[in-house]
Amino acid sequence: MAARAAASRAALTVVPPAPWRPKRAPFVLLSLLVVGVGLLGLLGLNTVLGQDAFRRHDLDRQAALLSEQEQQLASDVAALEAPERLAARAVELGLVPAGPPAFLRLSDGVVLGAAAAPPVAPAPAAKVKPSAKPVASAKPAASAKPSAKPAASAKPKSSAEPAAKPAATARPTPASATASARPTPSPKAS
């Protein structure tokens, strides 16, 4: 029996150990965590895009309203700038059409053309518009510069005289701006 046991032992060989396998639970948990974080990120991105879509819709509607308002204002300006409207407003203000022009030749002081005074229109009725701004006083501010006219020639205003209207300011045209910048020649004495 001993010989048999020795023969059976000789036929037995050592088997290598089984290969090491990692546990599946940590890998499954990590995979589920990555998928969950990805889904939450997509949900957040979708929510932000939805909010941006609502905001864009509101901004588009506001832009359409502003565009419509701009078109209405442009139409109003065009109506106010129409020649018929300007002519009617000028008549309301008491303006009259200009007569034929006359030109002054600066080299020799000769008047070319016949200047005629425009017809006098009746003064328009004064319209008082209430304004929220305070009206500036008609008195000029005191300055340190002496007046060009001597004080003796100035007449004191009586309280019965109406206050003088301030002169209307007009934008000079290039021709009048250059003409006013040049000194006018005095007529030549022969």
Burial zone of 95 (CB within 10 Å; 0-12 exposed, 13-18 middle, 19+ buried): middle
CA 69 to chain centre: 14
Residue by residue, DSSP assigns 62-113 as HHHHHHHHHHHHHHHHHHHTSHHHHHHHHHHTT--------EEETTTTEEES
List the beta bridge partners of residue 11: none
- Where residue 33 falls among pLDDT bands split at 50, 70, 90? very high
Between 166 and 54, where is the model more confident? 54
Q: Read off the DSSP letter of residue 182.
A: S
N- to C-terminal Cα distance for the chain? 169
pLDDT of the residue at 152: 44
Q: Read off the DSSP letter of residue 81.
A: T
- Where residue 140 falls among pLDDT bands split at 50, 70, 90? very low
pLDDT of residue 67 exceeding 90, the answer is yes
Q: Tell me: the pLDDT tens digits for 81-125? A: 999 999 999 999 988 888 788 889 999 989 888 877 766 655 555
- Where residue 65 falls among pLDDT bands split at 50, 70, 90? very high
Going by DSSP bridges, is the β-strand pair 110-112/103-105 parallel, antiparallel, or unpaired? antiparallel
Between 42 and 3, where is the model more confident? 42
Residue 104, classed as helix, strand or coil, is strand
Mean residue pLDDT of the chain comes to 73
- Cβ-contact 69, 78 below 8 angstroms: no
- Where residue 177 falls among pLDDT bands split at 50, 70, 90? very low
Helices then strands, counting H and E runs in the chain, come out as 4, 2
- Where residue 6 falls among pLDDT bands split at 50, 70, 90? low
